[in-house]
Chain A
Amino acid sequence: MKERVFQIVSQVLGLPLDQIHEQSSPENIEAWDSLKHMNLILALEEEFGVQFTDEKIVEMLSVKLIMEAVEELLPQVKNDSQR
């Protein structure tokens, strides 16, 4: 799951994969503006077949927070990654 999130963040923001970290956020990535954030959310929803609430969307402002939000909606993925 982590890999897929990194992949999408890299693709949507147009940055090489090795520049994406768990701490990556709009604070330290210039390309991550509000429009890109919208694209990011929609791409994540497509990839994982989930839907975030509006409150969650405005909070998901780092790769780490994104992964937590996805995990919340996909408990089985969480179990897989712990195994």
Chain B
Amino acid sequence: MKTLSYSQIQEELSPEKLAPLPPLNITILRNITLEPIEPYLRYLGYQMGFNVRTRFGGYDRIFQEAAGEQKDLLNEETDCVLIFLKLETLSWSLARSFPGLSLEQIEVEKERIQDFFVKVLTGIRKQTSGMILWHGFELPVYPALGIIDPQRKAGQTALIQDLNQFLRDTLQQQPNAYFVDLNTCLIRIGARNFYDLRYWHIGKAPYSREALQEIAREVFKYLRPLKGKSKKCLVLDCDHVLWGGTIGEDGLAGIKLGKTYPGSAYYEFQQEILNLYHRGVILALCSKNNEEEVWEVFQKHPEMVLQKEHIATAQINWRDKATNLQQIAADLNIGLDSLVFMDDSDFEIHLIRQTLPEVTVIPLPRDRAIEYREILASCGLFETLALSEEDRNRGMMYRAEAARKQLQRESINLESYYASLEMVLEIRFADEFSIPRIAQLTQKTNQFNLTTRRYSDADIQRLSESDSADVIYLRLRDRFGDSGIVGVCILKYEADQAILDSFLLSCRVLGRGVEEAFLIQCLKRAKLKGSKVAMGEYRPTAKNGQVKDFYLNQAFKPVGVADQVYSFQMDLTTFTRCESQFFKHIDSEIDK
């Protein structure tokens, strides 16, 4: 990725461009000078559609800030806290005068630091439920004991690794807190470029601009999924991308693909794509070829890593790629802004940038195929904060969706079609196993989402434990497979009212009566809780136009509009609706 200069960033970031964007509040606690990272955070935030506002804690005042000394630094508006704790400032002896220490002295320092981790983390959590990103210690570039160091359990390197491990474990016990490994940034750049010794000595600012840029990128790999901006689908061209050469001209035996040069570049690239598939990324093809020739490569080429079953949908034809990308988004029922398009042709890259700016485009320079794998691995667009079963099975589920569409074409009567799906709904209250997925759905669902309120794991945990709220999830299975948790409803109870704080469904299960059945279940629950009225809201966003009339269609009465929020109500005292008959089974724990 190209390095941006300070001037270029300043030119890009004008107040007029930033003002209308939603804020992203980042607080930075540090024991080093780190202010020069700010332009990079602001720039990456802008690229993601946010106006980044940074607040810095005092120099080497992490402990005091964690104790709440500076008001307005940490609060519920804080989206993310970055912690930069440099060993040199925290413990000069461990960092720089290690060989002179006795084992006892090392142990005392180690315990002091571990105690510091726990106290600081607890203190921050008391003030904010925002995401915590704690940057672990860097490993010494020249270990204190030289070549003996790596041999020893009590060496400096091993000690720092132990401290990082302790930190990792401590963070894992807190919701929404993550260990950021600065060493991955360091090895990408190399220590000679990572540190700027001049400013380390002049102003205790250790990192070069290149390093700060890389660190900021790493931070945004966490902020992207936090803000629901991770991409869902990778759309790939075929010729010169999945293999070298052109299948139409070079033929099955002539294209470059395999374990040895030059086909190895494409082989390794395909392996990286397959790894993304196993992490829950949907794969699609968009190429100008004769369709049967492409599938012949998939079926017959002995070195193909990707198989037809990994591809959720494909547009292989001679139409323009903008139309084809729109078709792919429609087939998968996802937004254009969830797509990443990779192609080697300048023409296609330019066309998509011009006509579909929502699509993220990654050009693959044809003469640098050996770098394709690196380009994909470094993009940071598909990150998730957890890897759920749903992620692992997503590709399979999208294939099942295609099979369902086939069956729909064959059935004429919708009710009997729905019945033929043999749908089983499982409706449950949130529990420790489902909370991460529920939070993920509130963060990622854009289209069928009435209020688009984003919640963290910690938020969902708190709501599910509250007496005045219910967090309910929906799981769907049918004859084609298990779709996993695909719906969430959050009910808040106030006096005799039940408020539908959130109501959302994953788009791939829409259009077969599931949304209606889920709502009826939730309204039954509200009635059981003694509520007399259910209140629904529609909060318009750029993406959720399809649910504008959802409550009206479900026989709610419109109440009015205030601040762009449309309110609806349903009288529960006379509510007696039942779910449709075409479900095979509704397994609910909330309606009794």
Contacts and interface: CB of A to CB of B under 8 A. Distances in A.
B2 to A, nearest CB: 13
Interface in A15-44: 34-35, 38-39, 42-43
A49 B491 CA distance: 59
A34 B203 contact: yes
A58 interface: yes
B33 A43 contact: no
Given A8-B7, A11-B7, A43-B7, A38 B199 contact: yes
Nearest to A54: B198
Chain A interface secondary structure, helix, strand, loop or mixed? helix
B5 A43 contact: yes
Given A38-B203, A38-B205, A39-B36, A46 B7 contact: yes
Contacts of B5: 43, 46-47
A22 B203 CA distance: 25
Interface string B194-217: 000111011101000100000000
B77 interface: no
A58 B5 CA distance: 22
Contacts of A57: 198, 202
B6 interface: yes
Given A8-B7, A11-B10, A47-B7, A42 B198 contact: no
A53 interface: yes
Interface residues of B, number: 15
B33 A35 contact: yes
Contacts of B209: 42, 46
A58 B10 CA distance: 25
Nearest to B4: A46
A12 B198 contact: no
Given A46-B209, A57-B202, A38 B36 contact: yes
B35 interface: yes
Interface string A1-17: 00000001001100000
A62 B404 CA distance: 72
Contacts of B35: 35, 38-39
A51 to B, nearest CB: 8
Contacts of A12: 6
Interface residues of A, number: 16
B6 A39 contact: yes
A57 B198 CA distance: 9
Given A35-B35, A53-B198, A43 B205 contact: no
Q: Of A12, A42, A47, A58, which is in contact with the most chain B CB atoms at under 10 Å from its CB?
A: A42
Contacts of A42: 6, 36, 209
B8 to A, nearest CB: 9
Nearest to B35: A35
B56 to A, nearest CB: 10
Contacts of A35: 33, 35-36, 203
Given A35-B35, A39-B36, A42-B209, A54 B202 contact: yes
Given A35-B35, A38-B36, A53-B198, A43 B6 contact: yes
B6 to A, nearest CB: 4
Contacts of A43: 5-7
A77 to B, nearest CB: 17
A55 to B, nearest CB: 9
Contacts of A34: 203
Contacts of A11: 6-7, 10
Interface string B178-204: 000000000000000000011101110
Interface in B21-50: 33, 35-36
Contacts of A47: 5, 7
Contacts of B205: 38
A53 B549 CA distance: 66
Q: Of B33, B35, B36, B198, which is in contact with the most chain A CB atoms at under 10 Å from its CB?
A: B198
A44 to B, nearest CB: 9
Interface string B1-23: 00001110010000000000000
B319 to A, nearest CB: 44
Q: Of A12, A43, A47, which is in contact with the most chain B CB atoms at under 10 Å from its CB?
A: A43
B36 to A, nearest CB: 6
Nearest to B6: A43
A39 B205 CA distance: 11
A77 B33 CA distance: 33
A72 to B, nearest CB: 16
B192 to A, nearest CB: 13
Contacts of A52: 198
A15 to B, nearest CB: 13
The 10 tightest CB contacts between A and B, nearest first, are A54-B198, A43-B6, A46-B5, A35-B35, A11-B10, A42-B209, A38-B203, A46-B6, A39-B36, A38-B199
17 contacts: A8-B7, A11-B7, A11-B10, A12-B6, A35-B36, A35-B203, A38-B199, A39-B6, A39-B35, A39-B36, A42-B209, A43-B7, A54-B198, A54-B202, A57-B198, A57-B202, A58-B202
Interface of B: 5-7, 10, 33, 35-36, 197-199, 201-203, 205, 209
Given A11-B10, A38-B36, A38-B205, 9 more contacts: A8-B7, A11-B6, A38-B35, A43-B7, A47-B7, A52-B198, A54-B197, A54-B202, A57-B198
